Amino acid sequence: MTSSPPTALITGVSGQDGMYLARRLMAEGWRVVGTVRPGLSSIARMGPYLTGVQVVDHDLLDTTGFGDLLSRFSPRAVYNLAAFSAVGASWSDPELVARTNLVAVAEMLETLLRHRDKNSSDVRFFQASSAEVFGSRVQGALDEETPHRPRTPYAVAKSAAHHLVISYREHHDLFACNGILFNHESPFRGHQFVAGRIARAAATAACGGRAPVALGDLDVERDWGAAVDHVEAMRLSLAHDRPGDYVIATGTTHTLRDMLDAAFASVGRDDAEDHVEMMPHLWSATQADSLCGDPGRARRELGWSATTSFEDLIATMVAVDVRRITTGVAESESYLS
């Protein structure tokens, strides 16, 4: 008799991370159930990439609904990737941010415990934490032991959820992991984010147009990795023989100026800054000038390291946007290759 494949439940499956993770898990033989917020438009946009995923509507704040998902699908692993993700916008509704990024996580952990007690079945849990938890007054490479000094409602909620995961792991012996995600990009992240805006500006210029990109500070440094690499670290963290917390980063930084130059160079242009509109008000003192991760633990314990270079990542983003502009096709599975 052939056994049924294990099931993974991914919240926020229509985001770039959810999509890449779903595809990676299915390639490993998993059945994937992915949740999207009811009425979310991104599911239509990301549909071409989610073939084979069973997509279900689920509001992250619906505790009863999460319990029903556990009972209905009996997942072996849950990856919580859904969140209020706009750091700057978190000031506009801190209560919603706290409920979505903290309270919902607490209720998921409690629901997982009740499910374990009722079914004598452990479900492994991955929480998408964030480098934003470290705050703005940081120096050097940041690792799992670096103190948290969150400076935004988003970061405060993510930091508290991070520590809840550790508490439930230690107090209840729950297999729960935090992935401290540093910046990671792909051609499938929205153009509302800075890397996407830069890629689109370069692609538009390559196609003979002009789409100036508004930036607040060209010298800000971030540890930019590829989403396709980062989700592999997520998968490995729940496949490991013991739970833990892991910085998921490349270990190197680049400035926004580097990103601009790389994007325009990938289409044979050297006039990147001619396509920038400097708007200093877009930069906030609550943001760090530089964030660099130390992925040493992930390398030692999971055997993981980033494999995509910064230049290749940016060039791929620009190339896909060129194809979008020239074909008029916004999304196609062919863009994955």
Please give the positions annotated as active site. Answer: 130, 132, 154
Determine how many CB atoms are found less than 10 A away from the CB of residue 28.
Answer: 12
What are the angstrom distances between the C-alpha of 236 and each of 78, 82, 131, 225, 250? Answer: 13, 19, 19, 17, 16
Neighbour count for residue 328 (Cβ, 10 Å) = 7
Distance CA 329, CA 97 (A): 34
CA dist 27 to 24, 51, 68, Å?
A: 5, 12, 26
The structure tokens 């992930």 sit at: 298
Residue 177 bridge partners (DSSP) = 126
